[in-house]
């Protein structure tokens, strides 16, 4: 028989979770509503959940400028796909290696991994290394490699999953049957690690999709502009609204007055387009995400 206190606790917990969920959703609602707000009204009154005038001018601008914005969008998709795939490969292989602590030197490698979470060379040394030594400036590697290709936290999550969630008897039986380490990893370990792989993949994909700092550091407008992602482009628009009046002749020919460009609301419209794939895909990965964090983050 459930007590009165139990039902009271359940009600309070549901009210609290509903309030927290509402607070998380409200910024997205404001983002969407603002993208449909009239630019002149938003410039004068600011963003509002209940604007005085609606307009599609921001999305009309995106349609006109789709050559630039669409290219940035496609580049974001490409970088996210490639970066996530390579990140999962490197992370899982690294984690599988250091999960074998009985191998000489693996404890030291694990120490080096944790050391990178506490200390780094700083921005200046990092920038100099990537630009002068690795020559990634104004290349696609500028938005693929720095700081995103492998994350020490993700490696530790996967290592813990390998060590404490997969029975030791399975890889031992494979070795007895003559399987190599790579075959054991490919045929047994990796297929049994779907929850943690989905978790790490989702976090890596989010990092790549939302990254704009690498573009700001390593891509210049003239030489590296073709590698702009949607976030880099949005950041440029936020910093310099003059980006909106480029190609003025094309805009005038399309019936949009240059002095009336939606410089305020177009940023919201681009952000809406930028988050759509993540919003659509996240529900399919949510159950793996929760399970992967639980199993990979707890040491038995």
Instruction: Give dist(CA 142, CA 274) in Å, integer.
Output: 20
SS3 percent helix, strand, coil of the chain, rounded to 5, is: 75, 0, 25
Report angle CA 105, 186, 297 to the nearest 5 degrees. Answer: 60
Give residue-wise pLDDT tens across range 219-242: 887 777 788 888 888 777 766 655
More confident residue, 282 or 248: 282
pLDDT score, position 300: 45
Give residue-wise pLDDT tens across range 129-183: 888 888 899 998 989 988 778 888 889 889 988 888 888 888 888 888 888 888 8
pLDDT at 252 over 60: no
pLDDT score, position 81: 92
Q: What is the pTM of this model?
A: 0.77
């Amino acid at each position: 028989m459930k007590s009165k206190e139990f039902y009271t606790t359940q009600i309070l917990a549901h009210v609290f979770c509903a309030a927290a969920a509402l607070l998380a959703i409200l910024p997205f609602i404001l983002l969407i509503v603002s993208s449909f707000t009239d630019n002149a009204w938003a410039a004068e009154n600011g963003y509002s959940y209940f604007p005085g005038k609606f307009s599609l001018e921001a999305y009309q601008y995106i349609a006109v400028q789709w050559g630039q914005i669409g290219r940035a969008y496609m580049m974001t998709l490409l970088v996210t796909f490639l970066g996530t795939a390579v990140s999962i490969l490197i992370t899982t292989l690294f984690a599988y290696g250091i999960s074998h602590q009985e191998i000489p030197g693996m404890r030291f490698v694990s120490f080096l991994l944790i050391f990178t979470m506490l200390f780094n060379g700083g921005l200046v040394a990092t920038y100099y290394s990537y630009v002068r030594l690795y020559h990634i400036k104004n290349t696609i590697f500028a938005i693929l490699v720095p700081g995103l290709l492998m994350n020490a936290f993700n490696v530790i999550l996967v290592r813990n999953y390998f060590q404490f969630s997969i029975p030791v008897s399975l890889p031992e039986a494979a070795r007895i049957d003559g399987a190599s380490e790579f075959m054991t990893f490919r045929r047994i370990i990796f297929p049994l690690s779907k929850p943690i792989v989905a978790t790490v993949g989702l976090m890596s994909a989010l990092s790549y999709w939302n990254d704009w700092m690498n573009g700001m550091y390593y891509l210049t407008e003239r030489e590296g502009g073709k590698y702009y992602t949607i976030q880099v482009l949005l950041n440029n628009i936020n910093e310099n609204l003059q980006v909106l009046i480029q190609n003025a002749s094309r805009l005038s020919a399309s019936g949009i007055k240059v002095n009336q460009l939606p410089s305020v609301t177009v940023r919201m419209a681009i952000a809406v387009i930028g988050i759509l794939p993540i919003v659509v895909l996240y529900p399919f990965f949510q159950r793996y995400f929760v399970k992967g964090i639980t199993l990979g983050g707890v040491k038995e």
